[in-house]
Structure 1
Amino acid sequence: MPERSLDTPIGRLTVTEDQGALTRLAWGGDADDDSPLLRRAEDQVLDFLAGRRQVFDLPLRVDASDFQRRVCDAMLAIPYGETRQYGDLSRALGVPAQAIGQACGGNPLPILIPCHRVLGARGLGGFSGGTGIETKVWLLRLEGAASLLI
């Protein structure tokens, strides 16, 4: 599968393409494959992290369980600059909040599918990318949602 790595303010990221869709975004990597989709992804991610883009226009595919896809769809519905709590998604999907947290941690396309917008009832919750909570806070500040952290 073609992959492209890019240097960003939150570390080196690698995006993976498979059959015309992005299937993974991960920290680290050293790939330099080229395709129109990977170039679009690079441009849009860099624009987002520079504050020049709020919505991604990229084909995404979550190769996971139906439940994981449902949670990813719920995260995609959270608007830029807004947050939800694990409990909000829990009630909407009719599953325990702990299952939502695990699905957020298993998000194969962080940033593109904004798991950083999901918070715990009493704080930030977790974040599995970059430097963890520091990266989550950076992304929330970028979106102007940092006031929600106080």
Structure 2
Amino acid sequence: MKLEYSIYKSDLLGCIYVISDGEAIVSVELFEEDWQQLRQQYEMIKSNSPLLENAVQQLDEYFHGKRKAFHLPLKWKGTEFQEQVWQALCEIPYGTTVSYSDIAEKIGRPKAVRAVGQANRANELAIFVPCHRVVGKNGSLTGYAGNRTNVKERLLQLERRYRTI
């Protein structure tokens, strides 16, 4: 399968790789090692397609506090449960956080808190599907892309800074 990609260079996070199947955004890679793994799995073509240009422009607006919601065709692939979680993530307002148990409640599975955490971890559309807005019940920054909570913290700080603008 051939995929197209473009790179957004963020002062906050470095290179962000945005990947498209030509119809929708299918992945966002924030970490170089994850990007390299993906490149080994698929044939990747660097592209300036209108879709990828739009995605990069929206990321730029987001990182400069000018965009609080994304309007892009997204294509996620997961179980029905994961897709319910990801849809719920898209409904979390900019600059706010909810807990994993809040998401479990919202999708009607109040005991599935750990499964919500695993669905969050499986989200391939970071930032566009804002899994960084989910925190522990006590407000702690738990589990972001494994143990990369520093990235979660940076994204939340960015959103809090621009929340009222």
Settle same-fold status: TM greater than 0.5: yes
Greater C-alpha Rg = 2
**How far, CA to CA, are the matches of 2:74 and 2:152 in structure 1?**
21
Shift of 1:32: 3.0
* 1:97 maps to 2:113: yes
Q: Secondary structure at the match of 1:144?
A: helix
Confirm or deny that 1:118 pairs with 2:121.
no
| RMSD (Å), alpha carbons | 1.8
* Secondary structure class of the residue paired with 2:20: strand
Secondary structure class of the residue paired with 2:28: strand
- Structure 2 CA distance, aligned partners of 1:72 and 1:11? 25
Instruction: Report what 1:127 is aligned to.
Output: 144
Question: Does 1:16 find its partner at 2:24?
Answer: no
Q: Answer yes or no: is 1:26 the counterpart of 2:29.
A: yes
Q: Whole-Å Cα distance in 1 between the matches of residues 120 and 63 of structure 2?
A: 20
> 2: CA distance between counterparts of 1:45 and 1:116?
15
Post-superposition offset of 1:73: 0.2
1:29-61 CA distance string (max 9 Å, x none):
486312000000001011101211111111111
Structure 2 alignment gaps of length 5 or more: 37-44
- For structure 1, the residue ranges without an aligned partner over 5 or more in a row are 146-150
- CA-CA distance at 1:19 after TM superposition: 4.0
Alignment of 1:50-69 (within 5 A): 50-69=64-83
Pairing 1:41–2:55 present: yes
Please identify runs of 4+ aligned residues in structure 1 that moved more than 4 A: none
| More deviation, 91-100/54-63 | 91-100
Letter matched to residue 13 of structure 2: I
Length, aligned pairs only: 144
Q: TM-score, normalised by structure 1?
A: 0.89
Residue 159 of structure 2 corresponds to residue 143 of structure 1:
yes
Shift of 1:68: 1.2
